[in-house]
Amino acid sequence: MIPAWLSFFDGLLAISLALAGIVSAHYGLGTPLFGFSLLLVGAVFAVIGFVAGLIGVLRTLSPQRRSSMPRAIIGIIFALLVVLPIVGVFLTHRQYPPINDITTDTKNPPEFVNALQIPQNRGRDMKYNPKDAEIQEAAPAYIGLAPLKLDGHPDDVYKRVEIIAGEFPGWKITRNDPQARTIEGVATSKLFQFKDDFIIEVRPGEGGTGSLVEMRSKSRDGKGDLGANYNRIVSFFKAVQGPPRGAPSAAS
């Protein structure tokens, strides 16, 4: 049965492409974007294999063709192994608009300095795009994203921010400027090793009281980020608001 065989081979090809993309990106055998593209191509073959598998199952219901049913079922399983995780990710992150430059201050965002010198960023426009500000301000997903207000002198807050940023998983600090109270770095995703540039600034609070922690995170690849930059900022702010280093946590 042609549909059953087509489902089997398309499902097998889909898994092979998906795994090749993940391995290629994760171990640096290719660029993250190339690896992710292989995954998406695998997803296309998975959809074709799934449809062919359903047709194959329906056409093998008769006793004369029953022997081809296992191939169709295996093809469907292979296809679902590729499609379901991808669909799940997009469905759970669909609230994020297609932008990849997120900041806590759309009016006066932190501006990259050291990131401009990184070879991978040369020739790229690292300035904040006002159009991104309009989209971010209008998106319900980003309501509530604002500078982190903390008590304490900016110099003291900066020291805490500096320590936590230096220990954050997947982060590499590329600039540490105590005079400007500014930190820049690169965050690397776990699976595909996508690299996003980020900058953190500690500014005096309104009226000279307390401090404001501003942050901006920008992806190097893709038009959207599935909320990665937003969640990075939120996660970092939660860490900064946590108990001081050496202090017992509430769960202790």
- Where is pLDDT greater, at 217 or 1? 217
At 75-131, the pLDDT tens digits run 999 999 999 999 999 999 999 999 999 999 999 999 999 999 999 998 899 999 999
Specify the pLDDT at position 65.
64
Give pLDDT, residue 222: 87
* Contact criterion met (CB below 8 Å) for 141 and 96: yes
Tell me the percentage of the chain whose pLDDT exceeds 90. 83
Query: Tens of pLDDT along 159-170?
Result: 999 999 999 999
108: which residues sit within 8 A by CB, 6+ positions away?
none
How far, in Å, CA of 136 to CA of 159, rounded?
30
Q: How confident is the model at residue 252 (pLDDT cuts 50, 70, 90)?
A: very low
How far is the C-alpha of 186 from the C-alpha of 221, rounded, in Å? 13
Neighbouring residues of 225: CB distance < 8 A, sequence distance ≥ 6: 96, 99, 100, 102, 196, 219
Q: What is the pLDDT of residue 157?
A: 97
Query: In angstroms, rounded to a whole number, what is the distance separating the alpha carbons of residues 154 and 36?
Result: 41
Q: What's the pLDDT score for residue 71?
A: 86
Considering the entire predicted model, what is its pTM?
Answer: 0.87
* Average pLDDT over every residue of 36-41: 96
Please give the full DSSP string across 166-189, using - where no structure is assigned.
Answer: HHSTTEEEEEEETTTTEEEEEEE-
